[in-house]
Structure 1
Amino acid sequence: MKQLNVIGLDQKGTEQLAGKLNKLLSSYQIFYMNVRGFHWNIKGEQFFQLHEKFEETYNDLLTKIDEIAERILTLGQRPQHAYSTYIDNSEIDEAKDVHEGRACVKHIAQSYKTTIAKQREILDLANEVGDEGTAALMSDYIKEQEKTAWMLTSYLGE
């Protein structure tokens, strides 16, 4: 017999989901700090446009970080909260000393590619365990970020 958690989902399934969500949380935290650094350090001809776009991006990432952590808690698990853990578990690498606009945008586009792939993986697992809440969250993120990734690659001319 399956043991259910407080929201009526299989305990083992939600533990698996929370593990994947914690890895996603780690990636988002590194992604957030990278974009924050791009915002602070951007130089060049498109400073004003990119500085503003990076601020918009890191604010959105910060919102998602909070939503992911709260989803982990809703599943009855604990979100990780140490930067050493984030660095160890992130699928996105730290971007150090990046200040040229095109390089920043390339890094952001690659980071979206990484998060979209991870979110698809989580979406599949959420559907398997009947977790509509996590599935809806991932589906919303994927839809939004696919468009953003397209726009970034268009900006890059790729």
Structure 2
Amino acid sequence: MKLNKIGLDQDKSVALSKDLNTLLANFQQYYLNLRGVHWNIKGKRFFDLHEKFEELYVDANLKVDEIAERILTLGGTPLHTFEDYTNAAKVPVGKNITKDVEAVQLIVDSLSELLTIEREILDASDDANDEGTNAMMSDLITEQEKTVWMFTAWLSE
């Protein structure tokens, strides 16, 4: 087994970098969804949702950077073009969403897809003894599960 510069199995690190690039592409689509609903939301809940969506997209932008840096740490190259993101993304695309319920449902659906990808990466990073990626996935999963719970509660009014 050949180890990389941080002491992890080289082949497993390459595979994890590929998986993290899939997550990166999907996070970029999630980020774009958040920007879109932030800009286009209308109605009586505008002020609350406009502010919340901004909070989420600022946070998502930071996470995109962290994911890209993890890919680099593992020796990979982060995807960085819209074409790459479009080809790899599974997160639903929200276009011209102006209604509150539709916007929140898009966020829940997007996070559900991200959680699926993150759990797959968590399993692979555990198998690779990659605590750095493990910790990142655990943190993302914990935070996103709470956000899904809160938005699902909001949707159930």
Find the aligned partners of 1:84 and 1:93 in 2 and give their Cα distance: 16
Find the aligned partners of 2:92 and 2:112 in 1 and give their Cα distance: 13
Spell out the pairing of 1:10-49 with structure 2 (5 A cutoff): 10-49=9-48
Where 2:93 maps in the other structure, the secondary structure is coil
The normalised TM-score by structure 1 is 0.97
Find the aligned partners of 1:140 and 1:110 in 2 and give their Cα distance: 19
| Structure 1: gaps of 5 or more residues | none
The normalised TM-score by structure 2 is 0.98
Offset at 1:93?
2.6
Moved over 2 A (4+): none
Which string of whole-angstrom CA distances, capped at 9 and with x for unpartnered residues, describes residues 60-80 of structure 1?
Answer: 110110000000000011001
Where 1:77 maps in the other structure, the secondary structure is coil
| Structure 2: gaps of 5 or more residues | none
Which string of whole-angstrom CA distances, capped at 9 and with x for unpartnered residues, describes residues 92-143 of structure 1?
Answer: 1321111111100000001111111110110010000000000000001101
Spell out the pairing of 1:9-158 with structure 2 (5 A cutoff): 9-157=8-156
Where 2:78 maps in the other structure, the secondary structure is coil
Find the aligned partners of 2:101 and 2:52 in 1 and give their Cα distance: 13
Find the aligned partners of 1:27 and 1:110 in 2 and give their Cα distance: 12
Where 1:48 maps in the other structure, the secondary structure is helix
Give the percent of matched residue pairs that are identical in Structure 1 and Structure 2: 49
What's the RMSD between the two structures over aligned residues?
A: 0.8
